Homo-oligomer: A and B are copies of this chain.
Amino acid sequence: MKKIAVLTSGGDAPGMNAAIRAAVRRAVYHGMQIFGVYHGYDGLIQGDIQEMSLGSVGDIIHRGGTILYSARSQEFRTDEGQQKAVEQLRKHGIEGLIVIGGDGSFRGAQKLTQKGFPTIGIPGTIDNDIPCTDFTIGFDTALNTIVEAIDKIRDTATSHERTYIIEVMGRDAGDLALWAGLAAGAESIIIPEEEQDMDDIIERLHAGYRRGKKHSIIIVAEGVGSASVYADKIKERTGWETRVTVLGHIQRGGSPTAFDRMLASRMGAAAVDLLLEGKADRMVGIQNNQIVDIDFDEALSQKHQLDLSIYQLARSLSI
């Protein structure tokens, strides 16, 4: 394999640039040519493809976002769109493709492999909701962004002795909410993986107040519903005014943490190595600190598991 390409797809995540950089540099290290596909699968169909060099990934390891841009593509969902994509790749003499993104992006990559075009996936999403990998690129950065935000809100919560409800990202996976809640010392954490009784939340608030705690922080993963709904319920049950903050899009950006840059560098290089070894239809993952690779079918048929022992730990520490 002499010519490969890389694209980013789906929601952007901090560290995607570090993964692109690693893929490009590793390819050059192996004497290969590497191309960047701009604007995800949409750009692939349009042939928005340019050769990359060591220089084109200079000074990007620390930048949020993705220099290759990302976009949704309706056309790529069709067989015709996928056909066009393969043709564009072949037109440039490209023999393998690295796709950095989430599970939706991997399903797209699989379609190309089914059409005979080798692909390797790299998990890049802040949600940490990809099965078969302990961590995804961007999770650690988003987590730290959230924790820093909660630290700031705690300043004001403490000063005003009020309860704050903070909504964080995570549609299906409560990892961000759970880890951030534990790391920031939140009083309650509400996640999709664990039903939490409103009675329990209220009881914890009351217990805190009885012990003299005048402020509380409650973290809600967006997947379980809006923070303002919880605020209303608490007001209804206790009469207490709470304050709501929806952290929103700041969670996706920022300079990647050391951990995310490491993970991205290891995964980007590994993806190139896999293509060079003739492997395809697989995603790169990290398990027990080791880089591994897993068949797309196997990975996509599973469900990401949150470590519920962390949830129990958080509860025991937020008494």
Contacts and interface: CB of A to CB of B under 8 A. Distances in A.
Contacts of A261: 147, 182-184
A134 interface: yes
A62 B149 CA distance: 12
Given A11-B156, A145-B152, A156-B253, 12 more contacts: A29-B316, A58-B213, A59-B154, A61-B184, A65-B158, A69-B158, A140-B259, A144-B258, A153-B253, A183-B261, A266-B313, A269-B316
A289 interface: yes
Contacts of A289: 134, 288-289, 307
A313 B316 CA distance: 40
A45 interface: no
A258 B143 contact: yes
A235 to B, nearest CB: 17
A232 interface: no
A65 B151 CA distance: 11
Number of copies: 4
A111 interface: no
A185 interface: yes
B151 A255 contact: yes
Contacts of A149: 250
A26 interface: yes
A269 B317 contact: yes
A292 interface: no
